[in-house]
Amino acid sequence: MRERILNAARRKPVDTTPIWIMRQAGRYLPEYRQLRERHSMEEICRAPELTVEATLQPLRRFDLDAAILFSDLLVPLWGMGVSFDLVEGRGPVLQKALTPAELAVLPPLDLGGVEFTFHAIRLLRRELDRPLIGFTGGPFTFASYLIEGKPSRDYPRTRAFLHTYPREWEGLMKRLADNLALYLKGQIEAGVQMVQIFDSWVGVLSPQDFRERVKPYLNAQLEQVGNGVPRIYFSTASAHLFPEFVTLPVEVMGVDWRVSLTQAKGIFDNTYALQGNLDPTLLLGHEEDLLAKASTIVGEGRMLVGHIFNLGHGILPATPPERVARLVDWVHAQGARG
């Protein structure tokens, strides 16, 4: 088992900089597009054999240091009795808007309703010679999807909800923290060796709203998961919240492309290993620009107690696969320790 990514996450020595890529399994790969011609996104998520195929596709092309389970962020909602559609080009869309009262009494997660996820993990562990990353969302990001009903730009309904319905907000966030922790623990029991919490939209909040209305529930989720495997926390456009993130119980802090690793180190002060943070659009431009920036990030990463190379957000569908292969090899070559 290749363990360099686990060592980096635990701030232990590595032989070279490890790399994986958010959304590394997906639409930029021709073989994935062929899979989607035959199966819907929901079918791939619900059928363990198809999940395994989608997860393994990038590892057949690239020398990545980890696999990430192919799934959708909102899959746990199926285990909470909430229906949604995966709409091409739009993302998940709830079939029925929930009232504040319904949101406050969201049911407990039925693990049997998402057993297909755990079955896929068990199958993948038989195939893989490197770690498997599981994932879910943070309570705020899940709440924002539930309240808005679909992806939004600034999540105004969610921000209004947390002030207008404080009791319902508290009930919703408590249940989401418990349910999402249970989902991650189920993934760990099935065999994942790292987990990432995507809190993609938390950057729309002010520091005060995050601290008072979100952080207690995020802490509860993370503490229930425990530190048996490395925990990665990732959000975007959230540098203004970094001082609030300093005390989160995780091993790895994801950094998007808007902040350098050096700047992040100045705030986190080696509390965590850092993950990131190449701008995904550089994979679409000139190769010399891509490799120059990758070298800078690898160099900054050498100054950290632990660094996992990644993009600062998910890979874009128009990305040429050959650019990804070049990046992965470059990072390993530039990051090699003597």
Pick the catalytic residue from 36, 159, 211, 258.
36
Closest residue by Cα to residue 162 from 150, 179, 144, 180: 144
Pick the catalytic residue from 11, 23, 46, 130.
23
Q: What's the CA gap between 88 and 318, in Å, rounded?
A: 15
Backbone angles phi, psi at 317, to 5 degrees: -60, -30
CB 275 within 8 A of CB 253: yes
Q: What's the CA gap between 312 and 321, in Å, rounded?
A: 18
The answer to whether 175 is a known catalytic residue is no
The answer to whether 33 is a known catalytic residue is no
Pick the catalytic residue from 10, 27, 159, 211.
27
Q: What's the CA gap between 211 and 89, in Å, rounded?
A: 33
CB-CB neighbours of 105 under 10 Å: 11
The answer to whether 233 is a known catalytic residue is no
Can you say how many angstroms the Cα of residue 200 is from the centroid of all Cα atoms in its chain?
8
User: Please, what's the b/e burial string for 286-319 (b: 16 or more CB within 10 A of its CB; e: otherwise)?
Assistant: eeeebbebbeebbebbeebbbbbbbbbbbbeeeb
Pick the catalytic residue from 11, 32, 65, 145.
145
What secondary structure letter does DSSP report for 257?
T
Pick the catalytic residue from 2, 10, 72, 125.
72
The answer to whether 145 is a known catalytic residue is yes
What secondary structure letter does DSSP report for 275?
E
Closest residue by Cα to residue 236 from 197, 270, 271: 197
Around 85, how many Cα atoms within 13 Å sit in the side-chain half-sphere? 8
Q: What's the CA gap between 310 and 183, in Å, rounded?
A: 24
Q: Helix, strand, or coil here: 250? A: coil
The answer to whether 36 is a known catalytic residue is yes
Residues with catalytic annotation?
Answer: 23, 27, 36, 72, 145
